Amino acid sequence: MGFDVSPLKEEELDAFFEIDGVAFGGRMSAPVRELIEDHMTLERALASRDGDEVVGSAVSERSIITLPGLSRLPVGVVVGVAVAPSHRRQGRLRALMHRQLDELRRDGEALATLFASEGGIYGRYGYGMATFGSRYELDKRVARLDEPGAAPMPGRIRLLDREAASEAFPAVYAEYAPTRAGEIDRKNVLDFLNAIGDPGAEDLTRRFYAVYEEGGRIDGYVAYEVAPMAPSDSWARRVICHELCHLTTAAYIGLWQFLLGIDLTEEIRAPGRPLDEPLRWLLANPRQLRTVFSGDRSWLRLVDVPAALAGRRYPQPGTLVLEVEDEFCSWNTGRYRLHVTEEWAPAEVERTDAPADVELDVSSLATIYLGAVPPSEFRLSALVREKAEGALTRADRMFANDRPPYCLTEF
């Protein structure tokens, strides 16, 4: 069955926001809706219609993503994907996804990325889990930094109000994003809502903002909340670290020193932090940093496989022939020869008829692409198949990264 999928019209914005609210179980605040309307590119907002009624949506915005070797490529950042409960199981999401990927390819965006509300949805459209994170908890009544982390840092902490934070944070983040694979550029204040808070939310009264300054330069920031640990006891409170971003080691240590020193609180909770959080190794007792959850963060889709493979850099020279299966975007299906001549160089990528070293589907390729998961971890599944002896070991080395990829931005 065909569906009318085409760009959203300005007069359909009310319907778009209503579908989003119905699909996700809650309407966004008026100030956030106003921000979205101000920054949305209508040509990139797709609608699925039943007659004249909007019943589904998928939106993308163009950004830049950092890749292994710190090369960078344009990426379509996908948000606002929703189908009304009354119109599910009809193929509407599939139609939206296909039209969106066609347009991203047309516009030269070799990659697409999103956060998945459910883990079983986007694999069938070629997305794979690409970055991972953890939620940490720390009993700050007993936690102490070890030397040298406990020593005073050369800079200073300065508290900001929300308006000043919205002006100061973007410059720090813009310098940070190109330094780690998986990070994307942020274009406007919408991208900082996790840090500065929804302007219409009740918890904004409990939000606070601080920066680490050294020599007149801001080298890091933290956005945090002081919240009750239980509704029945308003004096048992925790610090929730919503976002911490740093450019220097001193800024990182200084900001954690600050959080650990906040009075009248018993615990720090830090959701959505990297798997390789350095704080553990600054503590006098590393066990005090408890990992209470680990899981996927951003998902990735190779929209143009050869362009994406040529866009990142590889830590080890070598040659590898990949046979890629892409049922959803048939233009990607084929065999590709990657040839890397030196450490952390880009690959020469070409289609080939040579025998495949490794066969894999495009979603598995997305998961190994940033270096989050080595190809050999798929050995027991049918998703990645070794066709030449030693090929998975070679692929592990070529697709490795020097640190786990991460995406600080939630979207």
Q: How many CA atoms lie within 13 A of 10 on its CB side?
A: 3
Q: Which residues pair with 295 in a beta bridge?
A: 133
Question: What is the pLDDT, as a whole number, of residue 42?
Answer: 95
Which pLDDT band, with edges at 50, 70 and 90, does 1 fall under?
low
Q: Which residue segments constitute the domains of the chain, with CATH numbers given?
A: 4-109 (3.40.630.30), 133-295 (3.40.630.30), 304-398 (3.30.1050.10)
Model pTM score = 0.96
Average pLDDT on 135-158 reads 94
Helix or strand holding residue 5 (H, E): strand 4-7
Q: How far apart are the first and last CA of the chain?
A: 31
pLDDT tens digits, one per residue of 93-138: 999 999 999 999 999 999 999 999 999 999 999 999 999 999 999 9
Question: What is the pLDDT, as a whole number, of residue 81?
Answer: 97
Which residues belong to the active site? 122, 411
Mean pLDDT for all residues in the chain: 96
Average pLDDT on 193-213 reads 94
pLDDT tens digits, one per residue of 49-90: 999 999 999 999 999 999 999 999 999 999 999 999 999 999
Question: What is the pLDDT, as a whole number, of residue 203?
Answer: 84
Which pLDDT band, with edges at 50, 70 and 90, does 201 fall under?
confident
CB 299 within 8 Å of CB 370? no
Give the dihedral of Cα atoms 148, 150, 153, 158; nearest 10 deg: 160
Question: What is the pLDDT, as a whole number, of residue 410?
Answer: 95
Q: Which two tokens stand for residue 79?
A: 């948000």
Average pLDDT on 28-44 reads 94
Q: How many CA atoms lie within 13 A of 135 on its CB side?
A: 8
Cα separations (Å) of 4 from 76, 313, 336? 22, 40, 35
Question: What is the pLDDT, as a whole number, of residue 4?
Answer: 85
CB 324 within 8 Å of CB 307? no
How far apart (Å, rounded) are the C-alpha atoms in residues 406 and 411? 14
- Neighbouring C-beta atoms of residue 402, cutoff 10 Å: 12
Average pLDDT on 376-387 reads 93
How far apart (Å, rounded) are the C-alpha atoms in residues 224 and 268? 10
Q: Which two tokens stand for residue 64?
A: 């830049």
